Amino acid sequence: MHPTQSKTKQKVIVVSLISVAAVIILGGAAYAVMQFVSTKNKEQAAAQESTGHIKSDKGVTKQTLNQGMNDLADSIEESKAVHTETEAVIKDMSTQVKVSQ
Amino acid sequence: MRRRIFSRTHLSLRMFVAMVMALVLIIQAPVQAQTTAVAATELKTMVTKLTKEVDERLAATDKALATIKQSSGASSSATEVIIKSLEANKKDLTELKSKLSRTTTLADAKLLAKQMDDQYDKYASANVSAVAIKDSSAQQQVQKQLKTVVSDAQSMIDTAGAADMNVRSLQENLKGVLQLIESIGAIIAAVIALIASLASGNFSETSTIFKAIAGQLSQNLVSIDSAQNSLGGIVDTINNMQINNEASER
């Protein structure tokens, strides 16, 4: 084999090896990232599966919170009705009919 | 010569005068009777009108007393001041009613009518104060409930945070809502103090302030709606979160 041909062949081999190595490294990195994401997802899914109900340190649950919002809505409606009455009374009292006239 | 005390002419003149006077009295009698009857009717009409007005004011005052005694949340000193004003008015109105029942002349009735007109300012101030304090108390109650929901939401956020969940945005939103609720509470407290100071005043002088108070309470309702909506969004987010029980059961 001619020395020039031999050198070219060596170069091709080296480039091939480097390419294979790069593919392996990149593939490994991609795999590692995928594994990481997958693990996180699994952890999250596991966490979700384990929460049949949610309860805080102070014993508050989602139900407590939602009930609080419902009670709040009722109280706000009552408060609006009371305010309407206040406005009506102020308007009514502002027009005094003099009984002496 | 003996002087005659009454000459014939003199006597005739006197008799004529007497007859004229008798005639006048005879003519005047029905007019007098008619005038008396008109005055009696006028008195009756006025007493009926005044009694109706007193009864309405007494009913409104009783209603205001019942209202304020049911109100919870407002400071007891404010409600005490208003209750005292209402009770003083009730006493005045009851006395007026008693006087009205004993009135026999139109002049007295007119005097009582004047007193009632003068009393109106205090009656109106106390009654408007009562409804305004009920309004403020209702808002104070809502403000307390808002704080309770915020506290519960905070507890859930803490739990989620302990479970390594990203709660920064939720926490910031909740902080904003809490600030809004605190400002609503401060305004209500100031309004209650103001109402208490106006309860025994003259309504003709304070009606503008009461209207401003009503305007402020309307604005509070807008802020309350805003806080409720923001809190609703936070609670919805919490409802969609899955918080690990392990963190809560530690």
- List, as one string, the DSSP characters of B91-106: HHHHHHHHHHHH--SH
Tell if the CB–CB gap between B127 and A100 is shorter than 8 Å.
no
B-contacting residues of A 8-47, CB under 8 Å?
44, 47
Between A47 and B135, whose confidence is greater? B135
Report the alpha-carbon distance of residue A48 to residue B241 in Å, rounded.
9
Q: What is the mean pLDDT of residues B130-137?
A: 94
**pLDDT exceeds 50 at position A52:** no
**pLDDT exceeds 70 at position A49:** no
Taking only the tens place, the pLDDT of each residue in B175-209 is 999 999 999 999 999 999 999 999 988 998 999 99
Q: Does B171 touch chain A (CB under 8 A)?
A: no
Residue B2 pLDDT grade (very low, low, confident, very high; cuts 50, 70, 90): low
Distance from first CA to last CA of chain B, Å, rounded?
A: 143
The reply to whether the predicted model has a pTM over 0.80 is no
Report the alpha-carbon distance of residue A89 to residue A76 in Å, rounded.
20
Report the alpha-carbon distance of residue A87 to residue B232 in Å, rounded.
28
Place of tokens 């209402």: B86
3-state class percentages of chain B: helix first, strand second, coil last, to nearest 5 = 90, 0, 10
| Confidence (pLDDT) at A5 | 73
Taking only the tens place, the pLDDT of each residue in B53-109 is 999 999 999 999 998 887 766 678 889 999 999 999 999 999 999 999 999 999 999
Residue in A57, A98, A99 nearest the CB of B159: A57
Report the alpha-carbon distance of residue B10 to residue B111 in Å, rounded.
50
Q: Does A83 touch chain B (CB under 8 A)?
A: yes
Task: For residue B237, give the chain A residue with the closest CA.
Answer: A62
| Confidence (pLDDT) at B242 | 77
Q: For residue B155, what are its two tokens?
A: 């507890």
Report the alpha-carbon distance of residue A49 to residue B237 in Å, rounded.
18
Report the alpha-carbon distance of residue B98 to residue B135 in Å, rounded.
34
**pLDDT exceeds 80 at position A55:** no
Closest residue by Cα to residue B36 from B104, B101, B138: B104
Tell if the CB–CB gap between B135 and A94 is shorter than 8 Å.
no
* Percent of chain B whose predicted confidence (pLDDT) is above 70: 91
| Confidence (pLDDT) at B40 | 83
